Amino acid sequence: MIAMEQTMRWFGPNDPVSLRDIRQAGCTGIVTALHHLPVGLTWTKEEIRMRQAMIEAEGMKWAVVESLPVHEDIKKRSGHYQEYINNYQESLRNLGACGVRVITYNFMPILDWVRTNLEYVVEDGSRALRFELEALIAFDLYMLQRPNAGQEYAPSQVAMAKAYYDALSDSSKKELYDTILQGLPGSEESFTREEVLAALNQYEQIQPQDLKSHLFEFLKAVTPIAEEAGVVLAIHPDDPPFSVMGLPRIMSTEQDITDLIHAVPSMANGLCFCTGSYGARPDNHIAEMAAKFADRVYFLHLRNTKRDSEGHFFEANHLEGDTNLPEVIYQMVLEMQRRKKSIPVRPDHGHQMLDDLGKKTYPGYSAIGRLRGLAEIRGVEAGIQLMLKAQQSA
């Protein structure tokens, strides 16, 4: 039977988790991007091949691009957006020419992901990423001081955030500030308060339906090029899958996926199905979504979250959160048999544990926690494959 292609994310030569580490974890594919290139610049064949050579020297292949970032001008459909679309088209052509076939991207404005605690200590002593709603509101109201932000929250939420903020020490306030205003994953950049407020102001008049329209116009321009280049596009959902700091969110629900496919029916328009991002919303039924949209899943992020009734969540161990990951894996195994082709999968946001507790790594991307996640994913898939094989021979 056809098995999932096991991969891990690698942030490039400066990543403290090396290619050799990832190879020893049993991976055959690497998920990476040219993080050193400015957003919007064309990825040349020379740059792509240099990265491929590094990966192939360690006995693996560049399986998935994560991500080929979309410039903010494209999201706003302003400024030099047409130039950046042209560059994106050329990057797709070059990636296809070099044999890299799966291209992940997202359409989240400004911030690629948001957490409020990068070192949340779970019961077993390992550390996880956590999102606390009152921490975000406290940041928004009392640290960022976004104009009119208070109108977006219920009085009870404002009171909760005020109590949270007042209890913070100066060092804790700085830590929260630095955590939320981190740059894109794989980057050492961080945003200042003034930069964030200026960026947020640019989206003040852009409603969710506007941003969704901009996404569809972008896809109508780049999807035909993807078809010609022999690559597929895989959109990553919003993380978290609801509005933060007033920003519109347009890839958070089952309906959002339906709208995406309806707007651009091409099979080159697909999904990076992230169980953790979609799973942070209680109204998303992840296994059902995986079954419904299986034919559009070109890349699989497997992670789990544990929610509470207050709107908080943390990154649970892969098999211990609110999402039934074995059922998702089962649906993907069925889809691979139908396609007669593997789907690349990576464990996502593993806990920081064991020897990694004393190391500095990209948040969520330490080695041992992801290795545990990959081992659990591999074991579940092996059991499903064995069950299906027994059913077929019965």
Q: Which residues are catalytic?
A: 236, 274, 301, 348-349, 365
| Beta strand pairing call for 127-131 and 313-316 | antiparallel
Angle subtended at Cα 45 by Cα 40 and Cα 49, rounded to the nearest 5 degrees: 115
**Contacts within 8 Å (CB) and 24+ apart, 174-180:** 176/116, 176/135, 176/138, 176/139, 176/143, 177/139, 177/143, 179/115, 179/116, 179/117, 179/118, 180/114, 180/115, 180/116, 180/136, 180/139
State the first-to-last Cα distance of the chain, in angstroms, to the nearest integer.
Answer: 16
Are 69 and 32 in contact, with CB atoms under 8 Å apart? no
- List Cβ neighbours of 150 (8 Å cut-off, separation of 6 or more): 141, 158
Provide CB contacts within 8 A for 371, sequence distance 6+.
25, 347, 350
Angle of helix 208-229 relative to helix 254-263, nearest 10 degrees, comes to: 50
158 vs 134, 164, 169, 241, 305, CA distance in Å?
Answer: 8, 10, 19, 21, 25
Contact residues for 29 (Cβ-Cβ < 8 A; gap 6+): 5, 6, 7, 60, 61, 62, 63, 64, 344
